[in-house]
Structure formats: C-alpha cells, structure tokens
Amino acid sequence: MPSILVLDDSATMVMSLSRVLKKAGYDVETAGNGQEGMSKLAAGLKPSAILTDLNMPQMDGIAFIKEARKSASTRFTPIIVLTTESGGQKRDEARVAGASAWLTKPTEPNELLSTLKQLLPK
C-alpha cells in the first residue's frame, strides 16, 4: 500500500488530509513542519509521495523540499505542495526547489487524489 508523508502545521489540516488519504487506501505519516518531516525521513521513512504545506514554522515547505531532494532516498519521490499561496513567485520557487505538483487551498479531495495517482508509479 503506498504511503504518504503529510506536512502541515495545522492539526485540523493534518487530520483532514489523513482522513481523505486513508479512505482512499493510503498509509499516512504526518509531521507538523519541515524539520519534523526531515527527522522522519532521516529515521528511515520512505514515503511513496510527500504532501507539504509551504508556510510552516521552523522549516518551511520550500526549505524542506530542497533538503529532501538532497537525500538519495527522496530525490525522486513525488512532492506535492498544498498551500494557501497562489502567487507565481512562490510557485516558481517551489518548482526550482524540486516540487512535482502544486495545489492551492481550498482544493477538493478528488483533485488531491487524482494528482497523487498521476504522480505515483503505476
């Protein structure tokens, strides 16, 4: 079963995303910010895909993506940005950092799941 690492500093968002993903059959691991996400990856977590917010304390989403791309285990892991940001500049920053896809909140469960499906290996 594919596993998804979810990063968001909002507890309600983490619960909501976990619920949608679990109902769709995914295993879910969560982190409250980029630093916590990196700690989980360093501890050996190998998610099939990563879903991250941008604006988080301690380590934001862009910094997290840059760090994750440095690691051999997550160099090619699909990373989806899910954020309130809709600005082109942030989107470019995320793409340059290594983001695979971008979704702006509010998005619908189906849009999230279809984006994941497209990015995960068949």
Partner 1 sequence: MQFTSEASEHLVCAVLAAQVAELRDRIDGSATVELLWRTSEVLMQLSDLVRELATRCHDSELQAQCTTVVAAEAEVSRSIESLAFEQAQRNDFTCQTVDCVVTALERLAVTDGPVGNRISPDELAALYVSEEQRKVHDAATRRFVIGVSPAPTGGDCHGDERPGG
Chain residues that interact with partner 1, rule: CB under 8 A: 8, 10-13, 15-16, 19-20, 23, 54-55, 83-87, 105-109
CB of 34 to partner 1, least distance (A): 15
Report the distance separating Cα 117 and Cα 122, nearest Å. 8
CB of 100 to partner 1, least distance (A): 20
Closest C-alpha among 24, 44, 90 to residue 63: 90
Q: Which helix (H) or strand (E) holds 29?
A: strand 27-31
CB of 71 to partner 1, least distance (A): 27
Report the residue number, 12 or 121, with the smaller CB distance to partner 1: 12
Is there a contact between 34 and 8 (Cβ–Cβ < 8 Å)? Answer: no
